Amino acid sequence: MATIRDVAKKANVSISTVSRVLNGHKMISDETRQKVLKTVEELNYTPKPRGRASHKSNRKSLLVLTPSPVPQITNGIFEGARDHGYDAMITIAQSNNDGAYVKYVEEGLFSGIVLLNIRLSSNISEFLLSKCPIVQCNEYDVFPKANLVTIDNSGATRDITNHLIETGKRRLAFISPQYIYGYQVKFALDREYGFRRALDESNIDLNPEFIVRTDFELGIENYREYVEKIHSIVRNLLSYPEDERPNGIVCSNDQIAASCINAAKAMGLRIPEDLAVTTFDNTFTCFMTDPFITSIKQPNFELGYESANLLVSVINEKPTVSKQVLLGHSIIKRGSSVITK
């Protein structure tokens, strides 16, 4: 039986594009729409209807635990689950709190769990693993049977750092959060490693002061304070003499990148002539600055889809070793790193 992945592969488009066509999304060209619909017909692909499965149907439900849902990723999880005849339910969870979901998992209501951008305490993780398989999506922890779907954070940051180097920037800085939702994030360490690797491969000396690991978290209630702290960090970095200060900053998220641009412009610097800035998440924040921000683009829908796909595979096959799926990335070059007319 054909799946959405089969349609995407034959039509030479992404899984998210197929999903948008099938859901009547308007921001799709007629050519692409017709190509996808023709492929759907050729493969006789029929999307499974949405709707909750009965708990009597052999626990055909997946649980998604996340502190903050990412719509494109969760849509991918729903689509992947549906392609395999599963439902999916999202629960907002915190890393150190065992919410009501623990009771439902203990009662056997879920066949498997996707951990989306969350690391649970070891005792909660061990309990959940004793009940059903787990797949981590994006953020991850290292524990037995730690299945994972993510991108190569190190490789992606290496690539975007090389982009700045290719534009002539050699005094580079890196800014990243240390903590999100109360725990130290693994992906930030991976991204820093990729940044360092790019500089090392190009024989560029790194000023240790140009590695900044923020120790504060972003939240709705402290957004102003967060921005002010980023501005302070950028002002400190740019206080060096003109021929010593950074002329490029690689940021680990969009909020930091936007704050960098605003702080630099307030100091009279030109973007990207005096200071180039890049980021990682490619959210709408990239379009809220002048110029727009160059960013790594992650395949969010595919991350979700492949997480559900891997989880169902683990449920069915019961492998004795963990599995890992690394997806690709791309760089969207914009005015924060390249001069546009």
The pLDDT value given to residue 320: 80
- In-domain check, residue 194: yes
- In-domain check, residue 111: yes
The pLDDT value given to residue 181: 63
Judgement on whether residues 263 and 196 belong to the same structural domain of the protein: yes
Judgement on whether residues 79 and 143 belong to the same structural domain of the protein: yes
The pLDDT value given to residue 183: 67
What residues in the chain have per-residue pLDDT under 50?
A: 51-57, 220
CATH number for the domain that contains residue 32: 1.10.260.40
The pLDDT value given to residue 55: 42
d(CA 72, CA 62): 17
CATH number for the domain that contains residue 82: 3.40.50.2300
- Tens-digit pLDDT profile for residues 21-59: 877 776 788 888 888 888 888 888 877 655 444 444 455
Judgement on whether residues 229 and 306 belong to the same structural domain of the protein: no
The pLDDT value given to residue 76: 95
Judgement on whether residues 134 and 192 belong to the same structural domain of the protein: no
Judgement on whether residues 282 and 269 belong to the same structural domain of the protein: yes
The pLDDT value given to residue 34: 85
Q: Residue 326: beta bridge partners?
A: 150
Judgement on whether residues 217 and 282 belong to the same structural domain of the protein: yes
Angle of CA points 233, 194, 120, to nearest 5°: 80
Judgement on whether residues 107 and 71 belong to the same structural domain of the protein: yes
- In-domain check, residue 63: yes
Find the domain containing 21 and state its range.
1-41
- In-domain check, residue 337: no
The pLDDT value given to residue 330: 96
- In-domain check, residue 340: no
Backbone angles phi, psi at 294, to 5 degrees: -65, 135
The pLDDT value given to residue 96: 65
Give the dihedral sign, CA 161/167/173/177. negative
Judgement on whether residues 74 and 25 belong to the same structural domain of the protein: no
Judgement on whether residues 117 and 211 belong to the same structural domain of the protein: no
- In-domain check, residue 264: yes
Task: Please give the tally of structural domains in the chain.
Answer: 3
Judgement on whether residues 121 and 170 belong to the same structural domain of the protein: no
- Tens-digit pLDDT profile for residues 295-314: 999 999 999 999 999 999 99
Closest CA to 139 of 103, 191, 99: 191
Judgement on whether residues 26 and 61 belong to the same structural domain of the protein: no
Encode burial over 176-208: b for 16+ CB neighbours within 10 A, e otherwise. Answer: bbbebbebebbbbebbbebbbbbbeeeeeeeee
Judgement on whether residues 158 and 143 belong to the same structural domain of the protein: no
- In-domain check, residue 46: no
- In-domain check, residue 339: no
The pLDDT value given to residue 59: 52
